[in-house]
Structure 1
């Protein structure tokens, strides 16, 4: 299908005209905090986009560099008195950038793997077998260190570890609850790519928790990536392919499930929010409606567990108290996009001493594939304040329901010499139930 160009659907000029230049977005903007230039501020982005649609700005390499410098953290949207969708317009103009300049070979290769699960399985299995050739296990168990510089990756950079067998290939499709009653709740799991291939404790923890709650589990084996990495990069064809394939697949089983749980903030926000935005901006109302319908049963894992089960009461009755202090980081795609704040904390508090960092809402600086590769110096700069905040808490664990944040925060703590270990809240909750 030939998509309409984003500027034909999304009115950049109207968004630009609605900006009242109040400046409330400036202090909270992640890129402006580390690169204080008016052009790389939310109102700067919006002005440039308006000029671009009016034909007053050429999409040259300088403009490309500016529009690719946004972290898409949505801090600006959160404080804007007019709720201007700065993140959305930048996501859409990146499609134009991709059309004009192409997408780097390593990104194209990555998105190809995300579209083809079996090939990705083989590549990750191969990577696990030969990882010690180029990578070494970090002494803290937080990931792998590069032994030497690789393309787009400097020596000693921390990257996620690799699982011998992916989550989707570890478990059967159906996992009945330990105790079969007349009508057990039944939930599906959408695991996310990092949870599937790198952080095995997330999926294992969720399966363990659901078993303790006597809930039937369905693991849809043909699920693809949610499309977020491609969406934030401007690869429209990959986004369209993965979203449509997933929606068609979800529709085949969603009526038989009470919910689908996603233990990842970015994946959850993409599926519940950005799929609808994508189809709306590209004039596909039928698909927008289908995305909305499947999204009604999709939830962040801790939120559904908090609101629909007696998990909190079980944790309180267990009475297990750990000495290890936990501090919680709010992923941008959880707190700002989905309004999730209290639920994961409420599930951790019965068993772990909790200490808040000075600004748990501050973006960690992950920023997407481009930020983690071609603009990694920005990611490094944005990560330093977050690592310092975590160190101030003296916490043993920092927790967040987002593996993208895990990648970034682990790297930032590694660079700063911070001893704290990152755990998804589901891993900590599962430990409390044992």
Structure 2
């Protein structure tokens, strides 16, 4: 078991983490800076600081964007420290009922399917759809609901129910599995549609594992380690049943990719038996973000030779850019299709921050979301893109707040549009 103090003592207090820190940008307080977090966690371990409401408020104020981890000279896992601190908070104060209800859905696909189906049929009864959003829906299948906030609607049919488990290619050179992610499964199904279209274009065998569970990121970032561990075991055990039969497991979501590769490894290392670490190692080797794999392991870039009369600005989702340094790959692919216009700082976090940030601390998410939206608004482009549904939800909402009519599209949607045309 790790000790907070061991990692905290490795912090040299250089301050390199502070200029780019998301929470420090919107709430400049040393206590919620990365080095401040580390000192507080050490104080809790040594009995100098109590796990009280103030401590809870502090550790729940981090966006977990990984900016501090990326720039730290000692590569200190501040995000992992905070996730474990949140688990201690959850042990003492419990988890809000609505979060527990949501995590129940994440663990039980049948229940989430039911809620999704009911949500599709009843969502317009509880929310007013803005007229200007109807135009977006007709053009890009992006229905957004309005009740003070813009939220993604449920689709009539989820991605996992839309397609058969196996979609064979005529002369396949490769076979891949798709791990779709919850939001792309229930809310942004066009992402999965685009990926299927691209893989068909490349003549790649497609396997859609129907028993895949949520990656567990919402529960993990909230401190619900019981749910997290259950989902880790379930996914690894399921991946093992087909891992030798595929060349890759493709994930069109930055957060899911980071959770499946990086966060599983960190969690298992300190909280589970060594056997699980070895089992995870095997499946981790075949897990890839979609544009990374398409760029590195196919000839898609060479085959994209049709330019659309459109322009896009690209946002680096934290769990791709900061965690894996996946920045070049999506740009290389979409630049073959549309003109890419860079914003001032594509690396700045959009401010989604997880379920707690989107509920109890939405004032912080809003502040960061508006900073990002104003940055995007300055760019003369029709679209904004990122490989993350959480970014999609956050950016779409805040572009609306700043009066910018750019439309959010996943990089796969851009590529699929070029293939389609």
TM norm. shorter chain > 0.5: yes
Equivalence for 1:406: 392
Rounded to whole Å, the distance in 2 between the matches of 1:224 and 1:163 is 19
Rounded to whole Å, the distance in 2 between the matches of 1:137 and 1:309 is 41
Unaligned stretches of 5+ residues in structure 2: 137-141
Equivalence for 2:144: 144
Equivalence for 1:128: 120
Alignment of 1:253-268 (within 5 A): 253-268=242-257
Rounded to whole Å, the distance in 2 between the matches of 1:269 and 1:413 is 26
Residue-by-residue CA offset, 1:261-310 (whole Å, 9 max, x unaligned): 00000000100111011111214211122112101011001111111111
- Of 368, 378, 383, the match for 1:392: 378
Q: Compute the displacement of 1:51 (Å).
A: 0.6
Equivalence for 2:62: 70
Rounded to whole Å, the distance in 1 between the matches of 2:217 and 2:407 is 26
- Of 230, 255, 266, the match for 1:241: 230
Rounded to whole Å, the distance in 2 between the matches of 1:98 and 1:66 is 14
Rounded to whole Å, the distance in 1 between the matches of 2:96 and 2:214 is 19
Rounded to whole Å, the distance in 2 between the matches of 1:93 and 1:216 is 43
- Give 3-state SS (helix, strand or coil) of 2:14's partner: coil
Equivalence for 2:110: 118
- Of 330, 348, 353, the match for 1:367: 353
- Of 319, 326, 329, the match for 1:340: 326
Contact 2:145 2:153 survives alignment (8 Å)? no
Unaligned stretches of 5+ residues in structure 1: 1-8, 147-154
Rounded to whole Å, the distance in 2 between the matches of 1:310 and 1:83 is 35
- Of 88, 91, 96, the match for 2:88: 96
Contact 1:228 1:266 survives alignment (8 Å)? yes
- Give 3-state SS (helix, strand or coil) of 2:256's partner: helix
With structure 2 as the length reference, what TM-score do the two structures score? 0.96
Residue-by-residue CA offset, 1:299-324 (whole Å, 9 max, x unaligned): 001111111111111102xxx22222
Equivalence for 1:431: 417
- Give 3-state SS (helix, strand or coil) of 2:378's partner: helix
Equivalence for 2:263: 274
Rounded to whole Å, the distance in 2 between the matches of 1:283 and 1:399 is 37
Aligned residues: 412
- Give 3-state SS (helix, strand or coil) of 2:183's partner: helix
Equivalence for 2:139: none
Contact 2:250 2:287 survives alignment (8 Å)? yes
Alignment of 1:119-268 (within 5 A): 119-138=111-130, 139-140=132-133, 141=136, 142-146=142-146, 155-177=147-169, 179=170, 181=171, 184-268=173-257
Equivalence for 1:417: 403
Rounded to whole Å, the distance in 2 between the matches of 1:270 and 1:192 is 11
Rounded to whole Å, the distance in 2 between the matches of 1:326 and 1:32 is 29
- Of 275, 291, 305, the match for 1:302: 291
Contact 2:386 2:411 survives alignment (8 Å)? yes
Q: Which moved more, 1:281-290 or 1:189-198?
A: 281-290
Rounded to whole Å, the distance in 1 between the matches of 2:40 and 2:318 is 24
Residue-by-residue CA offset, 1:72-92 (whole Å, 9 max, x unaligned): 011111111111111110001
Rounded to whole Å, the distance in 2 between the matches of 1:136 and 1:215 is 42
Equivalence for 2:301: 312
Equivalence for 1:13: 5
With structure 1 as the length reference, what TM-score do the two structures score? 0.93
- Of 335, 341, 354, the match for 2:340: 354
Q: Compute the displacement of 1:57 (Å).
A: 0.6
Q: Compute the displacement of 1:416 (Å).
A: 0.9
Rounded to whole Å, the distance in 2 between the matches of 1:64 and 1:236 is 16
Q: Which moved more, 1:225-234 or 1:13-22?
A: 13-22
Equivalence for 1:292: 281
Rounded to whole Å, the distance in 2 between the matches of 1:126 and 1:79 is 45
